[in-house]
Chains A and B, each alone.
Chain A
């Protein structure tokens, strides 16, 4: 709990501001008695708890000033200390997706960051740039659930810190078996091993809607956020100490002259001629962006053409795929893999498939940040900083 977040505040929030009716509209009143809840009270986890009425739950929440609240599955008996959820029969649970920005992080064996977030954010930290990843993932899943699986309604909730939770509201999803949940997750998952010791799964041929969606939703942001940025301002890496620099800033710092818009050839020549070295250890510099492009099988000219084309199209349609993507199949595959690696949704599988798992209770307060896990009405406009906090709510 943060220093400013007192138990009085929590108590007051749950007593006066917590929208109980709205919460009930998400989970429904039927079987409320036999639904499991989990709370964190005085830093202790309280599981296997159920309430006869929603009011009783609210009473428990404000009288104990719960720091975090979670909602679980429905069982055939009311969960309690004597009827633990492990021992009683499971009935159903909502189908929930969890997207967390920290799932996009990864570290190699030496502890270096090898994740997807290139903006420098890590763990709990996020910025508008990397928040796009969570946003795209949510939009992608939303569309997949509706178009491919035929579900009608999906609600998105802020997780309170750096992610979102997607609830599929259709009643038929509640009784999906573990096997069916796993199959949906497998259908959606392309990256099985975030540390990247396994190869990526290729974009499927049979699953055309999924493939088209990758092109229509992920390709544009990929070219805009990942591809474009490096090409406009190439990355230089010191061969000795491995520190990375943006070429233009470094050149301006060292020579005092602008370098924007310089082509690779000129850039390399300038580094060589003006003897620009690493500013920490004076080691020789390498143009990483150039190497990356070469690995793709692209030249600088082709790459900038590609970006220009994608930038010019407002909505990237899969039908334009052949017009925009290079004809060389190797290049296509490399780019395809890179899109999946850098932009494809990363879902916390266990949250969706573990049928006894608890999930943050909508409109409860996140114990560490004080933010409220609100329902997100418009995904595209939402940013965590704009989410109300308990302090806002109590004013």
Chain B
């Protein structure tokens, strides 16, 4: 086993490890539980530990990781999930390891040795003293403080600087969070933390892609990892299903779009504009994104959704697109930034500063739309609805117009004025249209109608 790269770095070659299928599944199971409980852990060898004991820990580590990798390789969504949680674990271990050498060795492993240098090496190469030349020092920058506040006291050496070749850190070069000297980006470990994590995730993805081929061609292996595969799938599914999502009676995230005719009219319109024109105004992006989140889409599904529909994707691969939008999408989900799990804006807010179908669309266009959409409905009730709606719209009673529209669509009266609430009505409508009405809801409806 290589002595340079630390043993917690799961991408390294572990050397010869032999493992029973049963034991492997057990280790994978344990690792899975820890990853799910978001209990980030470190492995390091205390001085008193014997070789055998330490080797057992290593086998557990690599065995569990390998089995999980093989299991998720069958499903792209599970792959993404594993990469995300393993990425978090890697990030934690990277910033909390006590040895600076370990950190640098990991960087060398990720970016290859010739692309990573210590500041001392740069000084010798060019015969200068970087610190004096640019009057810089290893001080606690904002990003160091931020990382410390996020990860607690485990954070080590993050104010130290390393030099990485500029071709390896394009995102950091773009943001100018770097001191560039002769092609070497001199950065603090705190500034490079996320870039390193992303690089790890990218390389892990490649490894998982490779193991996919391995599993496909080997029935025995497939059978061996079946128990752990089933378990991950079950967990991932249950985690993805939010309450709102379940109320729709739909259990596949992307399927949400196949029933988009049940979305509130503003959202339908935004999806229509996005599909036909390829982009929305900033606030409208936000409105739609948050709604889709509430409707049960995962970050990954939203990435796919925006990639397929927006024009920003032209000329770039899905991976590049993801990197570009990842922050915004994760922000909506409260996974980065302030960590707020945002709710969709209220109708009043939509009318005033976002997009409201009734407030921002011309009456004649709305009537046209309705006539096409409800061509099969009873003409008399359609005319009545159109008359009511255009009158309400003229009087700027947008919420009431929306409620009238919904009554016409489903036959139920609507209470409340929030897209969140609209969601649950949408769920009810879904059940009515697609025959998934359950007895309890039917009873409630009967009471409502009375």
Residues of A within 8 A of B (CB): 147-151, 176, 179-180, 182-184, 186-187, 204, 206-210
Contact = CB atoms under 8 A, between A and B. Distances in A.
Contacts of B179: 206-209
Contact of B166 (A149, A182, A206, A208): A149
Nearest to B177: A206
Interface in B367-414: none
B180 interface: yes
A147 B136 CA distance: 18
B181 A204 contact: no
Which 9 residue pairs across A and B have the least CB separation, nearest first? A150-B183, A183-B170, A150-B182, A186-B174, A148-B180, A183-B173, A204-B176, A207-B176, A183-B174
Interface string B175-205: 1111111111000000100000000000000
A186 B320 CA distance: 16
B315 to A, nearest CB: 9
A148 B174 CA distance: 13
B170 A180 contact: yes
Contact of B180 (A179, A182, A187): A187
21 contacts: A148-B180, A148-B182, A148-B183, A149-B180, A149-B183, A150-B181, A150-B183, A151-B183, A180-B166, A180-B167, A182-B174, A183-B174, A186-B175, A206-B176, A206-B177, A207-B176, A207-B179, A208-B136, A208-B179, A209-B179, A209-B180
Contacts of A183: 166, 170-171, 173-174
- Interface SS majority for chain A: helix
- Interface SS majority for chain B: mixed
Given A148-B182, A150-B183, A180-B167, 16 more contacts: A147-B181, A147-B182, A148-B181, A149-B180, A149-B183, A150-B181, A150-B184, A179-B170, A180-B170, A183-B166, A183-B174, A186-B174, A187-B173, A206-B177, A207-B179, A208-B179
Contacts of B48: none
Contacts of B167: 176, 180
B434 interface: no
Report the contact-size class of chain B (Cβ under 8 Å from the partner): 20 to 34
Nearest to B180: A148
Contacts of A151: 183
Interface in B122-177: 134, 136, 166-167, 170-171, 173-177
Contact of A182 (B134, B170, B176): B170
Contacts of B320: 179
Nearest to A212: B134
Contacts of B175: 186
A207 B175 CA distance: 10
A209 B166 CA distance: 14
A258 B99 CA distance: 75
A180 B171 CA distance: 9
A179 B321 CA distance: 12
Nearest to A173: B167
Nearest to A319: B135
Nearest to A202: B176
Contact of B176 (A147, A149, A210): A210
A187 B174 contact: yes
A209 B181 contact: yes
Nearest to A145: B183
Nearest to B166: A149
Contacts of B166: 149, 180, 183-184
A210 B175 CA distance: 13
A180 to B, nearest CB: 5
Contacts of A176: 167
A203 B181 CA distance: 18
B144 to A, nearest CB: 13
B147 to A, nearest CB: 16
Nearest to B188: A206
A206 B174 contact: no
Contacts of A184: 166, 173
B142 to A, nearest CB: 10
Contacts of A180: 166-167, 170
A142 to B, nearest CB: 15
Contacts of A186: 173-176
A210 B180 CA distance: 8
A187 B176 contact: yes
A124 B64 CA distance: 67
A148 B186 CA distance: 11
A208 B175 CA distance: 13
A222 B182 CA distance: 27
Contacts of B181: 147-148, 150, 209
A339 B184 CA distance: 27
A210 B186 CA distance: 13
Contacts of A182: 170, 174
Interface in B311-337: 320
Nearest to A146: B182
A361 B173 CA distance: 30
A209 B134 contact: yes
Contacts of B184: 150
Interface in B75-102: none
Given A147-B182, A187-B176, A206 B170 contact: no
A179 to B, nearest CB: 5
Nearest to B187: A206
Given A149-B166, A179-B320, A207 B174 contact: no
A147 B134 CA distance: 13
B173 A206 contact: no
Nearest to B191: A206
Contacts of B182: 147-150
Contacts of B191: 206
Nearest to A176: B167
A207 B170 contact: no
Nearest to A181: B170
A207 B177 CA distance: 6
A186 B177 CA distance: 12
Nearest to A190: B176
A148 B179 CA distance: 8
B337 to A, nearest CB: 20
A86 to B, nearest CB: 12
Contacts of A208: 134, 136, 179
B116 to A, nearest CB: 15
Nearest to B172: A183
A187 B320 CA distance: 18
A150 B134 CA distance: 17
A207 B178 contact: yes
A90 B434 CA distance: 51
A65 to B, nearest CB: 35
B249 to A, nearest CB: 43
A43 to B, nearest CB: 29
